[in-house]
Amino acid sequence: MELTPDAVADEHRWVRERADVVVPLVNAVRAELGERFATDVRPITREQYRAAVDEAFADGDLAVNAAALVGLLRELDVEGDYPGFVVDELLGRELAAMIAGNQPLRLLAEATFHYADVMHHLDDDAAGVDDLDAALAAGIQTRLPGWGWTEGESPFAVRGPDSD
């Protein structure tokens, strides 16, 4: 694999074009998690998905690393699948975390990746593609607003003595 600016741009385009697969998965994950945690979580649109992808890939340092993981997962296939289970999980979890951002979103995306991965399986693609979709769904859904607890200021924020 050679990562050039053109290769990163190609992966960016591929991820953007995956909206028809990833957005329904994001919304299914949000609905399931919302039900489990007794909260309303707003669904996302294809436009929000594409804007979040553009934002992530606009950061060149993040873009090159995300593009590498996307490229690896797109091609990853292991005969018999199970021996490759660990590597596609590792790559998928890391991609979800990268897309989501800093803590605590990073950790939430990693956890959500496993949830999304269980919900999504493709039979006719390389084994890593369904993990790639789950990673994109977990990272994007965590990055985008829609969860009530992310909508306001945290009650745990500590202000300095001069911040009145």
Q: Residue 123: its pLDDT value, please?
A: 64
- How far are the Cα atoms of 8, 38, 93, 131 from residue 57, in angstroms, in the given order? 8, 33, 18, 19
pLDDT, one tens digit per residue, over 120-156 is: 666 666 666 789 999 999 999 999 888 777 777 888 8
* Burial (CB count within 10 angstroms: exposed 0-12, middle 13-18, buried 19+), residue 164: exposed
Question: What is the domain partition of the chain in residue ranges?
Answer: 5-148
Nearest to 15, CA basis, from 58, 62, 49, 60: 49
Sign of CA dihedral 141, 143, 146, 147: positive
pLDDT, one tens digit per residue, over 4-42 is: 999 999 999 999 999 999 999 999 999 999 999 898 999
Q: Residue 163: its pLDDT value, please?
A: 64
Q: Is the pTM of this model over 0.85?
A: yes
* Burial (CB count within 10 angstroms: exposed 0-12, middle 13-18, buried 19+), residue 139: buried
